[in-house]
Structure 1
Amino acid sequence: MVQEATPAASFTFEDAAELVAHIGILPLAPLIPEHPSLKSLTKEEDWHTDTELDPWQWRVRFPGEGQAAYGKFLKKKAVLVAREWFPYFAAVSGNARTFKDRYNSGLASREAFSILEIVERNEGIETRQLRAEAEMKAKEKKTAFDNALNELQGSVDIVISGVRPRLNADGAKNGWNSTSFETAAHWMRETGIEPFAGTREEAALWLKARMEPVWSKAAMTWIHKLWA
């Protein structure tokens, strides 16, 4: 079983890519019991250095290269999901009903519905532009905006597709990079991933078969409880 470990040597993007492909789901920070996280496998001094060993840069390199989907898919926490696993993960974590149907049935928020429509029209839209188009730039609307993004990621309707530099009126970089979003369906099409056409139960069985050889019992118990 692959579990938490204290990094003894530099952990590279290639190491992370191999691990994600092997275990399917890798949180950025410790989240799943007896299960590795990117934080636990890398050196603290490598984070936010803008170098090849900076895991903060990898989080958008993975979806950019089509190796893994990235988003706050589990308990509002950021995780990487291997491309092979993602169609099955989406079938289990998501919802077979359309978002409009869920919204009309009172199962989704108005803010999330509005934001999803904007993302669908502007695949890869960055956060600042998204807030503006959703008319949620006001400080008092930030919590509702963040909650809507978490809702859409938790239901695997959208993914984080990358980051874009914030530019001022002159085109010069101004401040921190801004996260960009696209629909999960669009990311899958762009990276050549076919959606899973079976049932949620069939997807869960596929995931269970892949997890059993490489996940700890505690980790499997945790995620199955989450998906119950």
Structure 2
Amino acid sequence: MAEVVGRLGIVPLASLIPEHPSVNGLTLAENWHTDTELDPWGWRVRFPGEGLAGYGKFIKKKAVLVSRGWLPAYLAAAGPQQSLEERYESGLATREALTLLQIIRANEGIETRQLRSIADMKAKEKKTAFDNAVTELQGSLDIVISGVKQRLNADGEPNGWNSTSFETAGHWMKEAGIQPFEGTREEAVTWLRSGMDGSWAPEAIAWISKVHGWK
């Protein structure tokens, strides 16, 4: 799977892009959620943890892996051209997203429960707003899912389900030793298309170009 992600650059966890492979489609159903080396659900943690691919709900609120080789160009081609503060002032981002991003910037790698607590969004009625804001930040490529952390109780013992952790895309790249793309948005789109030619189906290239508004 590491070879597939490296070759194709962008691979969704489940079927999403027409005529394009997904992790789900390339693996055996019986291996999922088995907590073994062959469990693809565990790879969503290993890939970002080992610096092999950025991971998050990047496209249409669906989970996607983007290889380390493609991520700089993908961020330049599909990521925000303004800061979140500027987008918020223009009415293009929610207040909840702005609040969460500011907390994540100050606490790179923060896990979900901690993030909700600091943002004062632990109440049950605020869960939907929190989930929507986290998804919004992934869709705009401001943040990535950097892994999963074991929840611990006050005594430092494992307690409950593992919790997703987040960090800014820029911080993840820096930690993984990945340099930002040197060039314009248009040059980044050209770079990605050259990588897609020959390995992506024409239908897949047309679909992702339409989704991101690439001319």
| TM superposition score normalised by structure 1 | 0.92
Q: Does 1:161 align with 2:146?
A: yes
Question: Which residue in the other structure is 1:8 paired with?
Answer: none
Identity %: 66
Instruction: Give the aligned residue type for 1:170.
Output: D
Question: Which residue in the other structure is 2:197 paired with?
Answer: 212
Give the counterpart of 1:225 among 178, 194, 210: 210
Matched pairs, number: 213
Give the counterpart of 2:20 among 35, 50, 54: 35
Q: Does 1:59 align with 2:50?
A: no
Instruction: Give the aligned residue type for 1:78.
Output: A
Question: Which residue in the other structure is 1:123 paired with?
Answer: 108
- CA-to-partner distance for each residue in 1:153-192, whole Å, 9 max, x for gaps? 0111000000001122222222210000000000011111
Q: Unaligned regions of 5+ residues in structure 2, if any?
A: none
Question: Which residue in the other structure is 1:145 paired with?
Answer: 130
Q: Partners in 1 of 2:204 and 2:18 — Cα distance?
A: 5
The runs of at least 4 consecutive aligned structure 1 residues that moved more than 4 Å come to none
Give the counterpart of 2:171 among 170, 183, 186: 186
Q: Partners in 2 of 1:93 and 1:144 — Cα distance?
A: 24
Give the counterpart of 2:121 among 124, 133, 136: 136
Question: Which residue in the other structure is 1:202 paired with?
Answer: 187
What SS does the aligned partner of 1:226 have? helix
Q: Partners in 2 of 1:42 and 1:91 — Cα distance?
A: 31
Aligned Cα root-mean-square deviation (Å): 0.8
Instruction: Give the aligned residue type for 1:107.
Output: L
Q: Partners in 2 of 1:38 and 1:175 — Cα distance?
A: 27
Question: Which residue in the other structure is 1:69 paired with?
Answer: 54
- CA-to-partner distance for each residue in 1:188-209, whole Å, 9 max, x for gaps? 1111111113111111010011
- CA-to-partner distance for each residue in 1:120-140, whole Å, 9 max, x for gaps? 000000000000111111111
C-alpha contact (below 8 Å) 1:94/1:157 kept by paired residues: yes
C-alpha contact (below 8 Å) 1:93/1:227 kept by paired residues: yes
Instruction: Give the aligned residue type for 1:67.
Output: L
Give the counterpart of 1:86 among 71, 75, 92: 71
**Comparing 97-106 and 125-134, the one that deviates more:** 97-106
Question: Which residue in the other structure is 1:7 paired with?
Answer: none
**Comparing 56-65 and 169-178, the one that deviates more:** 169-178
